[in-house]
Structure formats: C-alpha cells, structure tokens
Structure 1
Amino acid sequence: MKRLRLPRSLFARNIALLVALVALSQVCSLTVLMHYVQTPRIERAAAAFANYVTALGDVLAVAPLDARGPFIEKLRAQATLPADTALDPPRSLSALYRSYQRETFLAMLRRHLPADMPVRWETGKSARDEAEERLWFRVHVASEPYWISLAIPDAAHSDGMLTTILLSLGLAALATLTAYAIQRHLNRPLDDLATAARKLSAGGQPEPLPTDGPTEIAQVSIAFNRMTEALREAEASRALMLAGISHDIRTPLTKLRLAMAMAIPAGGDQAFVASSENYLDQIDGILQQFMDYAGSGAREAPVVGDVNALIANLAADFAGLGHEFDLTLGDVPPFAFRPVSTMRMLMNLMQNAVLYGVTGLSVRTWIDKDAQALCVAIGDRGKGIAADEMEKLKEPFRRGRGGAGHPAGTGLGLAIVERIAKLHGGSLELRAREGGGMEALVRLGIVPND
C-alpha cells in the first residue's frame, strides 16, 4: 500500500493542511445545511402543495354541473398532456443543486398525493420567451380525466441555496488566500535564516537577522545572530593568532638567513648554502599555505572581472617557466569574483597539474547555463589516481605523491581550492580525464554583470 506523499516544505504542508481544513469545514457546513434546513424546507413545501392540489381535485370532483365548465376553462384543463411534458425534470451538471431540488420536491410530492393523481413536469417558455417550469396533475371532473397545470413553487427551484454555495466557496477561497498570505509572512524569516546559513557555510559574513517577528522565530534569529557573532569573534581571534605566529616565525627565519649569509665566507660550501636556503623556502611555503587555508579569501570583496584573462595571464607565467598549457577558453561574461582568491585557486590547480601530470597540460572554460555556473577544467596526462582516492585528496593534510624531483606538498592545496570554490557558491570535482590523466573541475556560481 502506497503511503501518502506529503510536500517536503513546511510552507506547502501548512497550506495543504489549511486548504483541507477549510474544504472539510465547508463540506460539513453544507451537509448540515442540506440535511437539517433545505431538505425539510422542500418537504414542507411539497406537503403543502400536495394538500392544495388534492383539495383542488376534490373541489372539481364535486363541483355542480353548471360550474364545471367555467372551472375547466379557468384552470385551462386539457384532456391530453402537452407533448413536451416528462415524467422527471431534466438533469443538468451545470445546475446540479437545482436538479437535486427538483427531484427531491417531485419525489416528496408524489409521496403525499393520491395514487390516482400522476404528476408530469413541463419545461417550456412563457409568452415573454422566458424559461418556465410547470407541474401537470391529472384530476377527475365528473369521472372524466383532465390535466391541469400549476406553477412550480419557489422551494422547488429556488437559487437561494446556489447563492449560499457560491458564497461558501468564495469565503473558502478568501480564507485560503488569507492563510497563504499569513504563512508567507511567517515563512519569510525562515527564508532569511536559510539564506544567511548558506552564506555563513560558504565562508561569508551574513547581516544580523531581524528579531521583530513571531516569538518562536525571533528566538531562533537571536540564537543565530549570537552564533554568527561568536564565529566572527573566533575568526578574528584565529586571524590575529595566525598573523602573530607568521610574524614570530618569519622574523627568526629572516635573521637566520642573514646570519647564514654573514657566517659563511665567500666561496664556502655553496651546496650547504643552497640546501639551507631550500629548507628555509620550504618552511616559508608551508607557513604561507597554512595562512592561505585559514583565510581562503573570506574577507576579500568580490570584483567584476574577466576570468579568462586571469587564466591567460597565469598560463603565460607558467609558459615562461617552461610549462605550456593548452587553452580552450569559452565565451564567459564578466561577473563578480574574488580576484586574489580565484588566482590562488587556479594557481594551485595549475601547479598540481605541473607537479603530478607534467605533460598534456590544459585549461578549458565554459558556462553551464542550467546551473548558472562557470566551469574551469584543468587537466594533465599524468598517471592519474584511483577513483576511491580522489575525494580523500580534498581533505586537509592529505598529501599526494609529487613528480620526479618534486617534494610532496603540505596537503592543503586542494582543501584551499575547495574552500575558495564554495566561497563562490561552487564546488571542486576531481575526475579521470578521457584519454588518460586527471582533471580538476571547478564550478563557480555566477551572476552576470548587466
């Protein structure tokens, strides 16, 4: 047995519940109205009309001979029925309730009339060419059957109930629209909270949420504001601590370089000097990567620019070092991005391609219109890595194996790239390249600059 599938959003569920409750209340109200008000009203009208017709038949049956003619002429009695009369009134889906009224009235009328007094329904047109409905009854005048017609009482075809139904439907629609507006008003703070949470998770700094809404939602907003303020203070403390560490470590490194230059005479052991300088450069590089990972450009303001131009400049720099990248740059409109962070991200990926792939270096860009994202694919023709290792490489401190003559990195490069991509509303995907090698695909959310 299949379970009822409810809408996923709270807003849709509340609206569906309110609509169901309003519809149920209207159905219950109409059922009570029909059963306890309208049906007894029609039955009373049918009983009174039956008494009137029965009395009329009795009068005609005992009328004096000289008075029967004027009676018959006055009542327009006929020996035969008109051709357009019917046993039951016509049904109409467009006037369902009116058909129900007619059938109910006619059934109750026949229940109260004598068995020898049949009833027929006529739907025709009056002299004014207006729709007219009449009932035909068979009576006996001096044992001769005659058919007389009487206008149908209002209880049999009144539109009052139809007006009530339409009014109920209108009120139900108004209640639904009002509930929709109220629910939209209540959901707006939740939408703001979700937007702020997404911005915070991407590394941004959302504005404080308003706290003037309903009490329950205001309490959530207050708690969120306190959390973001605590995270902001923690971020400031971390940045201050890292800046202090960087300064405190780089100062003795600089002094060590100076001491080495002054202590080793000219023409001394140059291999020792080069090795020492290399170790100092590695320490400085590792320190810089830790600083980059901690910052990742969260405080950098986006600037409208051309990513293709940035890629072309980086490719020219690598070409100057002997590493040629094959560029396939698509039509990318200018959009807002963090230039320094984006340059660091692209440089890390291009350095990885040089370090691990060595050959077949390439950069491709295009726009994914469905996802409203810029796609940058940086590939190589190296040995590649196993599929189950690709996601692990994005974890902090997960080191890859460097190429020949290159040391292993700190394990923060791809973690930095992923942080910067998420900061731009995007993602990082590592995948095997068609034809061999590996490809890093970065998606950045874009808002075209109008």
Structure 2
Amino acid sequence: MRFATRFPGRFLKRVLPRSLLGRSLLIILLPLVLVQVVALQIFYGNHLELISRRFAGAVAGEIGFTLDLLRRTPDPAERQWILDEARTEFEFAMRIHPGARLTTNKSRNIPGPMDDDLAEALREKIGLPFRMDWTSDPQSVLVEVQFWDGVLEVEAPRKRLYTSTIYLFVLWLVGSAILLFSIAALFMRNQVRAIRRLARAAEAFGMGRDVGPIKPEGAAEVRQAAAAFNRMQERIRRFLAQRTEMLAGVSHDLRTPLTRLRLALAMLPAGAALGQDIAEMTTDVEEMDRMIGGYLAFARGEGTEQAQPTDLAAMLEDIAASTRRAGAAITLITPPTLTLPLRPDAMRRAITNLIDNARRHARHVTVTLSTPSSRIAAIAVDDDGPGIPPERRESVFRPFESGAAGGTGLGLTIARDIARAHGGDISLDTSPQGGLRARISLPI
C-alpha cells in the first residue's frame, strides 16, 4: 500500500520537466488544453450531433419521398421525370437498376456521427434494406436501396450531410492554442533567461571571476534579485580590499621589528659561547617571518587575482621541476595539455602546499592529472608516508589543526579554500602507495 502511494509521486518526478521554463510552460499548457477539450466536447457532443441528425433526416426524407413517387408511377418515362426532378430539387443523382438485388448490406462508413445518423434516419424514413458507401467518392455518399422491382442508386452530396463550421471550429481551437502557447513560451523564455544570467553570474563570482555588475532584466522580482546581487558583489569586493590593505599594514608592522632583530643578531660577535644561541634565535626569527607570511596568505585568500586560461599540465611540470631541484623524489603523470580557467598563482600555491605536505611525511610523491569525466579535472597527490586516520581527515582542514613537522597548520586549509574558490574541492583518501592521497577536483 505504501509503495502504491509512492509510485505516482516518483513517476511524476521522472516525467515532469526539471527546468523552470518547462514547468512554467506545462502550467500554462495543461489548463489551455483542458479548456480546448471541454469546448470541443461541448460543440462536438451537442451542436454537431444536432446538426448532423437534422441534415441526415432531411436527406433520408427526400429519398423516402422519391421512393413513394416511384412506387406510385410504374411508367418508365414518368419515373425518369421524377429522377430528373430529384436531381434538380434535391441535388441527388439517382439511377434505377430494374430487377437488381443488393449483394450485401454491409456499409462502408467513416468515423463520426454523420454515417450513424444517416443510417438511423434511412431505417426510420424508408424501412427498406440499404447500403451506404462513404469511402469511394470524396464528394458524394453512395446509397443503394433495395425496393420492390430493383435497386435505387442515390449519390447524395456530402455537403448536405455536414457543416463546414466544424473545420473552422477545429482550426480556431488549434490555432488559438498554438498562438497562446507561443506567446507564453516567448515571454517565459525571456524571464528564465534573466534568472539563468543571474545564476551564471553568481557561480562565476563564487569561483573568483570578476563578472562585473549584471544588468537587471525580467520581472520585478528578478530585477530586485539582480540588484541585490550587484550590491552584495560590491560589498564583498569592498570588504576584501579593506581586509587586504589592513593585513598588508599588519604584516609590515610585524616584519619591521623582526627585521631589526635579524640585523641585531647578525651584528653580534660570533663567539664560541654565543654562537649556538645566535643561530637558534636566528632560526626562530626566520620561522616567525615565515609564519606571518603564511597567515597573511591565508587571510588574503589570493582574492585579488583574476582567472585566466591556464595550462594545468604545464603548471604541474614547473612545480615538479622545482620540487626535484629541492631534492625531493616526485613522479608526474599528466596529459600533454589541459587548459582551464584558473587563478594561476593561487592554484600553484594550493598544489605546492599539498606536495610540500606530502614531502614532509614521505619519501616519494606521485602527482597525477586526469579527467574522470568531461566536466571534472582531478589532481591526485599520492605519497608513501604514514597517512592520516579516516576520523581525522576532515578535521585537518581546519586552521592550525595539521601543524606538524615544521608546518604552520594552514597548508591544507589554504589549499581547500583555493580549490573551493575555483568551484572545486579537496578530499583525502588512502593512497595506492600506502600513504595519503589528496585529490583536487576542478570543474572543466
């Protein structure tokens, strides 16, 4: 019983269109078709049937009247005069086949009420065996009546059995439905186009691309949403600019005393007693300077860089070459070329962070660039290190959670922030080499 109640809902979800344009047109089309069907039923079921019965009764009555005259007049000459008068007055072409017999009473009919109404009227008016043929002649209906001394053949014009207004009515129904549906489709397409433009702008802005303000178009609600998006875009740009300027000032203020400390340590006499202490203090100052640079890069988020077509395969080649010059063992597997819209400096930083993180914990690193589907590019960084337990793989993306072995705890955080700014993401898994696999997914 529960399956029976769920089945119609699931079926409708599969059948109904998913787009706003399709659903809007369906909402317009269904009532329109329903109204047209009701109107056609009213006309076809009442007016057309009434007219058809009247026309059929008139034709059957005239045939019956002619038969009565023929029965009363045995003279062949007078019978021919009656047939000529029927042609003139009733527009019937009549012929008598003396002594003939109907071979069959089966009629050739057409869909609709006209043939049934004419058959009913003939049975009522003449009461003799007959046969109708509606298919042989497109202009006439052939009626053969078996009477007392032969067969009367009657060719009745079709125009006397139906009204041409049925074609005008059907043409009006179909034409008006097509016209109204076309107007509605054109109007809804313009409305949906404005919504799609807003969605594309929001998606591009979320990927860090400067799309600029969009022009408000469409209905009042869509214009209001576009205007709100433009205001939001401007506020976010202003906030990022203010934050970057503030952090640049903070970085300068913090690095100034560090520079003085570094100079002071360099000018101290390098005696045997102080040499070890000076070296350790110099290392601490350099570590503090590196940490400040990492914090500033994380807070800035590379937000001022614009996306541009970038050969990701060539970028990975450069990063791998730099890593090898630093003495690390790295294997690179890439296609010849793969161009994507990227912020190159930001993406280079994200990939370098992942490789540096793998180098600190492993002896060998493998970087693989692939396209699992036509819409996704994937960069997999595999190592043979100890890896990360599955329960901690999500928490290490939080700031300062993964700091170890000389790290600041921001490498994975910055990398994921950059990947998501490009519309992708970073996930962690077990590497085929036994260590950790960090996988960057990017939209193509």
8 A contact 1:134–1:151 mirrored in 2 = yes
8 A contact 1:80–1:147 mirrored in 2 = no
8 A contact 2:144–2:154 mirrored in 1 = yes
Task: Tell me: CA distance 1:389–1:73, structure 2 relative to 1, closer, same or farther (3 Å).
Answer: same
Cα displacement string for residues 163-190 of structure 1 (whole angstroms, at most 9, x for unaligned residues) = 6435533432333233222111001111
The Cα of 1:281 is off from its aligned counterpart by 2.3
SS at match of 2:96: coil
Matches within 5 A, 1:361-400: 361-371=365-375, 373-399=376-402
Task: Tell me: CA distance 1:240–1:104, structure 2 relative to 1, closer, same or farther (3 Å).
Answer: farther
The Cα of 1:221 is off from its aligned counterpart by 1.2
- For 1:66 and 1:375, the matched residues in 2 are separated by 100
Matches within 5 A, 1:201-350: 201-262=206-267, 264-267=268-271, 268-350=273-355
Residue in 2 aligned with 1:18?
Answer: 28
- For 2:431 and 2:317, the matched residues in 1 are separated by 22
Task: Tell me: CA distance 1:10–1:70, structure 2 relative to 1, closer, same or farther (3 Å).
Answer: closer
Residue in 2 aligned with 1:436?
Answer: 434
Kindly, what percent of the aligned residue pairs are identical?
28
- For 2:166 and 2:239, the matched residues in 1 are separated by 68
Task: Tell me: CA distance 1:226–1:393, structure 2 relative to 1, closer, same or farther (3 Å).
Answer: same
Cα displacement string for residues 355-377 of structure 1 (whole angstroms, at most 9, x for unaligned residues) = 12x22311122334522x43222
Residue in 1 aligned with 2:115?
Answer: 103
Residue in 1 aligned with 2:69?
Answer: 59
8 A contact 2:305–2:343 mirrored in 1 = yes
Task: Tell me: CA distance 1:349–1:28, structure 2 relative to 1, closer, same or farther (3 Å).
Answer: same
1:137 corresponds, among 126, 145, 150, to: 145
Task: Tell me: CA distance 1:16–1:442, structure 2 relative to 1, closer, same or farther (3 Å).
Answer: same
Residue in 1 aligned with 2:88?
Answer: none
| 1:28 partner amino acid | V
Larger mean Cα displacement after TM superposition, 177-186 or 422-431:
422-431
Which stretches in structure 1 are left out of the alignment for 5+ residues? 92-98
- For 1:50 and 1:38, the matched residues in 2 are separated by 18
Task: Tell me: CA distance 1:100–1:351, structure 2 relative to 1, closer, same or farther (3 Å).
Answer: same
Aligned-residue Cα RMSD (Å) equals 2.8
8 A contact 1:125–1:131 mirrored in 2 = no
Cα displacement string for residues 298-327 of structure 1 (whole angstroms, at most 9, x for unaligned residues) = 321334444333323332332233211122
- For 1:164 and 1:419, the matched residues in 2 are separated by 65
8 A contact 2:333–2:367 mirrored in 1 = yes
SS at match of 1:266: coil
SS at match of 1:7: coil
Cα displacement string for residues 181-237 of structure 1 (whole angstroms, at most 9, x for unaligned residues) = 211100111111111221232233332121243212111111221121221221122
- For 1:69 and 1:103, the matched residues in 2 are separated by 28
Task: Tell me: CA distance 1:340–1:27, structure 2 relative to 1, closer, same or farther (3 Å).
Answer: same
1:39 corresponds, among 25, 30, 49, to: 49
- For 1:172 and 1:73, the matched residues in 2 are separated by 48
- For 1:112 and 1:353, the matched residues in 2 are separated by 100
TM-score (norm 2): 0.85
- For 1:159 and 1:359, the matched residues in 2 are separated by 90
SS at match of 1:361: strand
- For 1:187 and 1:282, the matched residues in 2 are separated by 55
The Cα of 1:102 is off from its aligned counterpart by 3.5
Which stretches in structure 2 are left out of the alignment for 5+ residues? 85-93
- For 1:45 and 1:73, the matched residues in 2 are separated by 21
- For 2:291 and 2:120, the matched residues in 1 are separated by 97
8 A contact 1:121–1:136 mirrored in 2 = yes
Q: Is 1:87 matched with 2:106?
A: yes
8 A contact 1:42–1:155 mirrored in 2 = no
- For 1:230 and 1:88, the matched residues in 2 are separated by 82
- For 2:232 and 2:30, the matched residues in 1 are separated by 39
| 1:238 partner amino acid | R
SS at match of 1:330: coil
The Cα of 1:31 is off from its aligned counterpart by 1.1
- For 1:108 and 1:411, the matched residues in 2 are separated by 95
